[in-house]
């Protein structure tokens, strides 16, 4: 069967059903990124894990493709599907903080911003990425690299347990003792192994941070110095160094707009005085164009209304790791950024290390623990005709940055194909993931993801 009787579906679930012609259908099929126009047969927002199992059963019965959606930030557009069923977790929003234990159970309809805010009300924190609207389902199953990673590890390093609905409809409670292989795989293996309906996270006391945006002129020396200082800094400091044309924002002087700048996002997870000292060498690299770095609460790292609901960019992008980012390499990358065909282009450098690197490569499905830098290159499209040109620019720029073993962070992969999936999961990690896949999803029902086929 390749069609679906929507009126029968409506009687089968208490959760929300959105089908073609319904109010909200277009919104339900729109993701953060533009450039996709899929028209699902139905979007189902289950009201509890049992209904999640019901949606999985429906996908099996109908044979329709199943997409799983949490925050809708999939770079490859995996969380919607043309003609298929979208399992949208938006209505699973329960959250329970245990202050004494410093843990939280959070259902996966919540975003990173939702959970960050809720735990901060108790003086606690958990690190996700750099954007509050990203869903905890996608970022956690893929890994989670953000403002607290060098201090407290990746998001997956703070996962204590999960509830997973598997392809055969079982609702499993998984942790280090119960279904340990599945617990290992959902920490970095993406959405391949089932639908996670809630995570239990370890929290950390974090009353304040020193953080915000630092805008500097983009010379090779400044970019190289920023990366070098951040990588050598105490692990309380995590930074994201974006090199891009200065946005036309009110605080950017007219003559600077459009020229290359370093848009640094910094977060020092510790006392204000120490943070100021650690940041001094970075601030000294050049006269800042703007300096918004100050003592703040952690949720203030995620400004409200970022981008806005109508912002759906389309971009070509490439993610990679680098072990070394020396001055000649940075100089070449800046030259490419300066002469790029696209008005909007960016190269992003993320120094890693710290707590990320203290976890063994085989402890979770993220096996790039020793890599020094993550680099993301993106070029925004101005219509479909510009795709080929922008993709080529991205590839050529990425080739300058890439050194050391080929690798990829799954959450920043677009539709890059199976070879890159292998780069995301090198060697033994791939073998083990395919075995776990065979055990929990032998028919590859969950295939709208960076796919790991079951071992044959
Ligand atoms: C603007 C932006 C900023 C970003 N910044 C960062 C960052 O700083 N750090 C970082 O690590 N990543 C970052 N990412 C990448 C982000 O982590 C991934 O795109 C992630 O998959 C998004 O999660 P989502 O729930 O919003 O996405 P969705 O599109 O809803 O889901 C993506 C995929 O994740 C899987 N999935 C989602 N929820 C579940 C679930 N509950 N159970 C099983 N599988 C599930 C499914 O395969 C789904 O197709 C960013 C992405 C964007 C667009």
Condensed to tens digits (0 to 9), the pLDDT of residues 132-144 reads 999 999 999 999 9
Query: What is the C-alpha separation between 198 and 442, in angstroms, rounded?
Result: 23
Domain count, the chain: 3
Pair (382, 294) in one structural domain: yes
**How confident is the model at residue 309, as a pLDDT?**
73
Could you give phi then psi for residue 446, rounded to 5 degrees?
-90, 85
DSSP string over 183-252: HHHHTTSGGGS-EEEEEEEE-EE-S-EEEEEEEEE--HHHHHHHHHHHHHS-TTEEEEEEEEEPP--TTS
Q: Which domain holds residue 304?
A: 209-412
Q: How confident is the model at residue 252 (pLDDT cuts 50, 70, 90)?
A: very high
Share of the chain above pLDDT 70, in %: 99
Q: How confident is the model at residue 1 (pLDDT cuts 50, 70, 90)?
A: very low
Give the model confidence (pLDDT) of 219-233 as tens digits: 999 999 999 999 999
State whether residue 268 is helix, strand or coil.
strand
Pair (251, 367) in one structural domain: yes
Pair (125, 151) in one structural domain: yes
Pair (221, 247) in one structural domain: yes
Pair (50, 131) in one structural domain: no
Report, as an integer, the average pLDDT of 55-84: 97
Do the domain assignments include residue 197?
yes
Query: Is 131 touching ligand 1 by the criterion CB < 6 Å?
Result: yes
Pair (388, 240) in one structural domain: yes
Pair (84, 171) in one structural domain: no
Report, as an integer, the average pLDDT of 421-435: 97
Query: What is the C-alpha separation between 270 and 422, in angstroms, rounded?
Result: 37
Query: Is 149 touching ligand 1 by the criterion CB < 6 Å?
Result: no
Find tokens 């940075």 and name the residue.
330
pLDDT score of 305 more than 70? no
**How confident is the model at residue 308, as a pLDDT?**
65
Q: What is the domain-level CATH number for residue 194?
A: 3.30.465.10
Which tokens hold the place of 213?
């945006």
**How confident is the model at residue 280, as a pLDDT?**
98
Structural contact between residues 373 and 323, judged by C-beta atoms closer than 8 angstroms = yes
**How confident is the model at residue 429, as a pLDDT?**
98
**How confident is the model at residue 52, as a pLDDT?**
98
Query: Is 195 touching ligand 1 by the criterion CB < 6 Å?
Result: yes
Pair (35, 58) in one structural domain: yes
Report, as an integer, the average pLDDT of 97-112: 98
pLDDT score of 243 more than 50? yes
Pair (350, 379) in one structural domain: yes
Report, as an integer, the average pLDDT of 414-439: 96
- Cβ-in-10-Å burial (0-12, 13-18, 19+) of 82 comes to middle
Q: Whose CA is nearest to atom 52 of ligand 1?
A: 73
Pocket test for ligand 1, best of 70, 200, 447 (most atoms within 8 A of CB): 70
Pocket test for ligand 1, best of 74, 136, 265, 441 (most atoms within 8 A of CB): 74
Q: What mean pLDDT, rounded, does the chain reach?
A: 96
Do the domain assignments include residue 40?
yes
Do the domain assignments include residue 444?
no
């Amino acid at each position: 069967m390749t069609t679906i009787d929507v009126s029968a579906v409506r009687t089968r679930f208490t959760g929300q059903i959105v089908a073609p012609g319904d109010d909200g259908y277009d919104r339900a099929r729109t993701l953060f990124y533009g450039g996709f126009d899929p028209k699902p047969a139905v979007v189902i927002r289950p009201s509890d894990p049992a209904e999640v199992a019901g949606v999985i059963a429906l996908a099996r019965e109908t044979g329709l493709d199943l997409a799983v959606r949490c925050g809708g930030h999939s770079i490859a557009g995996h969380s919607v599907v043309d003609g298929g069923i979208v399992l949208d977790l938006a209505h699973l929003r329960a959250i329970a903080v245990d202050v004494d234990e410093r843990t939280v159970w959070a259902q996966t309809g919540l975003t990173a911003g939702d959970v960050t805010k809720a735990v901060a009300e108790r003086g606690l924190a958990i690190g996700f990425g750099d954007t509050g609207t990203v869903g905890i389902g996608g970022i956690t199953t893929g890994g989670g690299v953000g403002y607290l990673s060098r201090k407290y590890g990746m998001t997956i390093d703070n996962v204590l347990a999960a509830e997973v609905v598997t392809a055969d409809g079982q609702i499993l409670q998984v942790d280090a003792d119960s279904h340990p292989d599945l617990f290992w795989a959902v920490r970095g293996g993406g959405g391949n192994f089932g639908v996670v309906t809630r995570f239990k996270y370890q929290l950390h006391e974090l009353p304040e941070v020193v953080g915000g945006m630092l805008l500097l002129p983009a010379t090779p020396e400044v970019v190289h110095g920023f990366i070098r200082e951040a990588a050598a800094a105490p692990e309380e400091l995590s930074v994201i160094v974006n090199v891009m044309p200065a946005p036309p924002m009110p605080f950017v002087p007219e003559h600077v707009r459009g020229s290359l700048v370093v848009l640094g996002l910094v977060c020092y997870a510790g006392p204000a005085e120490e943070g100021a000292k650690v940041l001094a060498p970075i601030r000294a690299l050049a006269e800042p164009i703007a300096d918004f770095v100050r003592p703040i609460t952690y949720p203030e790292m995620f400004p409200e209304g970022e981008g806005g609901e109508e912002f759906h960019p389309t971009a070509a992008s490439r993610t990679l790791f680098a072990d070394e980012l020396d001055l000649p390499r940075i100089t070449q990358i800046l030259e490419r950024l300066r002469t790029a065909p696209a008005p909007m282009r960016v190269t992003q450098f993320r120094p890693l290390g710290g707590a990320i690197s203290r976890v063994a490569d085989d402890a979770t499905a993220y096996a790039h623990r020793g890599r020094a830098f993550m680099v993301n290159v993106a070029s925004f499209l101005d219509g479909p005709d510009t795709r080929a040109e922008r993709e080529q620019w991205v590839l050529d720029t990425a080739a300058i940055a890439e050194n050391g073993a080929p690798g990829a962070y799954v959450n920043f992969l677009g539709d890059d194909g199976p070879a890159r999936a292998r780069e995301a999961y090198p060697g033994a990690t791939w073998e083990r993931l395919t075995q776990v896949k065979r055990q929990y999803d032998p028919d590859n029902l969950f295939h709208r993801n960076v796919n790991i086929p079951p071992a044959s």
